[in-house]
């Protein structure tokens, strides 16, 4: 058996589930624990088992609540002590067209069909509202696959009585709801079933024999899709590409064939395939995915290929270009270090199977898709894995490539100074530090789920939780934006604390890796102390919970002047700072330009 977590999936994922589960739990990674409720309109236990494996693969250790067969509506709509006690972090509603109770008849008038459509959608909307009010957690909802038979043939798509037409319109209503409600996500089984093959997906044998709404062999594909949404919600997406050049971005070997003889562009079928692949990669920049080159080549040859006029990807589309004869594993590690990313943030794309295997062995956690050796298959090999699944898209995401380019410029500027403080002052940094604001709540939630290195409590929050905190007077909340002479980094730091008696318990403290060692943490602490004093508080209490990735902040509170109160056997520490005494401001290099009204409070 090959990698059971790569396409094409097979039932070995389920038949060898226990062995795979043990192996995944033995990974030396920083797991996060989540409670997931599956409310099913059909049999779901194999879906649960496959979903658990895919989530473990992403570093998410899940505990499950599973409704009884076809009890999704009852579990959602009526008091449910077991589900309430479970306190789900995410609810997944697994329904399909078998759960549509009534369909239009050919004799129904337009008004009757429209009423039935709205009634069917309202059935689900009522449930979503109830779940949102009761549990306040993200909801994942299947849309609908097409029926596997068509009474009117092709007319089913255009006639308002057709089931194909009904499903299409119902799916659009679900999509409208998703666009207007945060923390609600569509699991697109309409696309999945088409990709898998509708006749195989909807094989009626599995429904009549086992009450499965989809064929058992399709279950891993469904679970993989749901897992991609969940890992995106909790910040487990990849962030960057590391791309080979020869026979990966273009056909041929530039050092041997010369740039003028590479296959690229519209002249040949092979050249068209490489151009389409480049278009696909370039589109990822809109999501904030970072493009980098890792190639065994002379730098001059690599650049000559990138400078061809018919290249879709140009030299300035890449943040870093490593074209040399060093091991690719070392070049990837160097890029990760320079960009303040972890190596497991990367998707490594190379046509050479030997290079792929070296990265798998030496760069733990990096994704290495099996793209094969045919350029027309490269897109599918990457796209179907869902490395960059989007559950939220902010303006900061769209600007991330430019932000990392600016960071590279800062790194180059740093080498011109012998005194680091002088370098920081030369950046002319300005920070906006203010309480959580509605326009930034999505980005703040995203940061809590993505930041792993500079993250003291590793608490993960949904957007709804961030919004609730922002509106609750028991909390002091702060976001920090940082800009300098090279550009705007966007929202890069988050702190939040709960007022308990005369102290502030710091429950969130994190910062983006983009602004490490820029003294932003001092600026945030100064402001947190100021606001706590304004409320008459006497102390701040901080907590550090060690993980595999956040060792860099082990001594954060000591550096801020806190006194250690306790440390347990697992290295969890508790710290306290008396703010009644005179405390000098630690930030000396960042100008604070927060909201004037807030600053004057």
- Spell out the residues 6+ positions from residue 257 whose beta carbon is closer than 8 angstroms to its own: none
- Model confidence over 103-140: pLDDT tens digits? 999 999 999 999 999 999 999 999 999 999 999 999 99
CA separation (Å) from 56 to 3, 192, 508? 15, 22, 25
- Spell out the residues 6+ positions from residue 71 whose beta carbon is closer than 8 angstroms to its own: 39, 40
Profile the chain (601 residues) by mean pLDDT over runs of 10 residues: 82 92 88 95 96 96 96 95 96 97 96 97 97 94 97 97 98 96 95 97 96 96 98 93 97 92 93 97 94 95 94 94 95 89 94 94 93 95 96 76 75 74 88 92 84 82 87 93 86 93 92 82 93 94 88 89 93 93 88 57 34
Q: What is the pTM of this model?
A: 0.81
Q: Is 240-383 in the same CATH topology as 12-233?
A: yes
Domain 12-233 has CATH 3.10.105.10: no
Complete edge-to-edge strand list for the sheet that includes strand 60-66: 60-66, 32-40, 90-94, 139-142, 184-187
User: What is residue 601's predicted lDDT score, i.e. its pLDDT?
Assistant: 34
> Which run of H or of E encompasses 578?
strand 573-578
Q: Where are the domains of the chain?
A: 12-233, 240-383, 418-599
What is the residue whose two structure tokens read 């056909």? 251
- Spell out the residues 6+ positions from residue 350 whose beta carbon is closer than 8 angstroms to its own: 243, 244, 248, 294, 328, 356, 359, 368, 371
Cα angle for residues 446, 449, 453 (degrees, 5° grid): 115
> Which run of H or of E encompasses 240?
strand 240-243
The candidate with the shortest Cα–Cα distance to 224, out of 444, 9, 12, is 9
User: What is residue 594's predicted lDDT score, i.e. its pLDDT?
Assistant: 58
Q: How far apart are CA 190 and CA 389, in angstroms?
A: 17
Alpha helices in 154-309 (DSSP H): 163-180, 189-196, 198-201, 204-210, 219-233, 254-257, 269-283, 299-306
Superfamily name and number for 418-599:
Gcn5-related N-acetyltransferase (GNAT) (3.40.630.30)
Q: How far apart are CA 457 and CA 448, in angstroms?
A: 10
Q: How far apart are CA 87 and CA 134, in angstroms?
A: 10
What is the residue whose two structure tokens read 């898709």? 369
User: What is residue 2's predicted lDDT score, i.e. its pLDDT?
Assistant: 67
**Contacts of range 466-474, beta carbons closer than 8 Å, 24 or more positions apart:** 466/436, 466/441, 467/436, 467/438, 467/441, 468/136, 469/436, 469/496, 470/435, 470/436, 470/437, 470/438, 470/441, 474/498, 474/499
User: What is residue 599's predicted lDDT score, i.e. its pLDDT?
Assistant: 38
The fold of the 240-383 domain, in CATH, is: Rossmann fold (3.40.50)
**Tokens (6 digits) for 551:** 């060792």
């Amino acid at each position: 058996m090959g990698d059971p977590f790569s396409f094409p999936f097979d039932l070995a994922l389920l038949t060898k589930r226990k062995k795979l589960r043990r192996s995944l739990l033995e990974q030396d990674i920083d797991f996060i624990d989540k409670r997931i409720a599956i409310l099913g309109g059909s049999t779901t236990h194999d879906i649960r088992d496959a979903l658990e494996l895919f989530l473990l693969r992403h570093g998410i250790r899940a505990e499950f609540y599973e409704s009884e067969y076809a009890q999704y509506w009852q579990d959602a709509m009526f008091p449910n002590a077991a589900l309430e006690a479970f306190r789900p972090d995410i609810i997944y509603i697994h329904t399909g067209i078998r759960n549509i109770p009534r369909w239009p008849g050919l004799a129904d008038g337009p008004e009757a069909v429209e009423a039935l459509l709205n009634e069917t959608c309202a059935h689900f909307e009522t449930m979503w509202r109830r779940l949102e009010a009761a549990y306040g957690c993200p909801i994942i909802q299947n849309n609908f696959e097409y029926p596997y038979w068509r009474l009117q043939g092709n007319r089913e798509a255009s006639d308002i009585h057709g089931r194909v037409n009904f499903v299409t319109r119902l799916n659009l209503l679900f999509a409208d709801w998703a666009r207007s409600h945060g923390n609600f996500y569509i699991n697109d089984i309409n696309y999945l079933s088409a990709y898998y093959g509708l006749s195989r997906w909807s094989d009626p044998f599995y429904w009549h024999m086992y009450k499965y709404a989809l064929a058992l062999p399709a279950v891993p594909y469904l679970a993989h899709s749901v897992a991609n949404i969940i890992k995106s919600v909790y910040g487990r997406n990849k962030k960057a590409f590391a791309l080979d050049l020869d026979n990966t971005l273009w056909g041929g070997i530039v050092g041997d064939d010369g740039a003028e003889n590479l296959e690229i562009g519209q002249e040949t079928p092979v050249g068209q395939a490489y151009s389409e692949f480049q278009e696909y990669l370039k589109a990822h920049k809109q999501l904030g995915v970072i493009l980098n080159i890792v190639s065994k080549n002379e730098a001059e040859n690599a650049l000559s290929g990138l400078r061809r006029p018919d290249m879709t990807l140009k030299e300035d589309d890449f943040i870093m270009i490593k074209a040399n004869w060093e091991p690719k594993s070392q070049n990837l590690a160097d890029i990760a270090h320079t960009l303040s990313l972890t190596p497991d943030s990367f998707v490594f794309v190379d046509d050479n199977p030997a290079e792929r295997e070296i990265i798998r062995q030496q760069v733990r956690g990096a994704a290495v898709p099996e793209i094969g050796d045919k350029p027309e298959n490269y897109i599918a090999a990457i796209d179907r894995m869902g490395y960059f699944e989007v559950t939220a898209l902010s303006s900061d995401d769209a600007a991330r490539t430019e932000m990392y380019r600016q960071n590279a410029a800062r790194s180059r500027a740093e080498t011109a100074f012998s005194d680091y403080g002088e370098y920081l002052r030369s950046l002319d940094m300005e920070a906006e530090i203010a309480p959580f604001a509605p326009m930034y709540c999505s980005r703040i939630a995203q940061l809590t789920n993505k930041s792993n290195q500079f993250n003291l409590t590793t608490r993960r929050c949904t957007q709804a939780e961030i919004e609730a905190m922002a509106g609750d007077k028991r909390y002091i909340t702060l976001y920090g934006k940082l800009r300098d002479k090279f550009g705007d980094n966007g929202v890069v730091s988050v702190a939040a604390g709960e007022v308990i008696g005369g102290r502030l318990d710091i429950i969130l403290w994190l910062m983006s890796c983009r602004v490490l060692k820029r003294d932003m943490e001092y600026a945030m602490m100064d402001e947190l102390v100021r606001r706590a004093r304004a409320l008459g508080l006497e102390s701040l209490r901080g907590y550090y919970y060690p993980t595999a990735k956040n060792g860099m902040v082990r001594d954060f509170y000591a550096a801020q002047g806190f006194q250690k109160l306790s440390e347990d056997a697992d290295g969890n520490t508790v710290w306290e700072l008396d703010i009644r005494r005179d405390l000098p401001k630690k930030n000396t290099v960042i100008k604070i330009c927060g909201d004037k009204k807030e600053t004057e409070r």
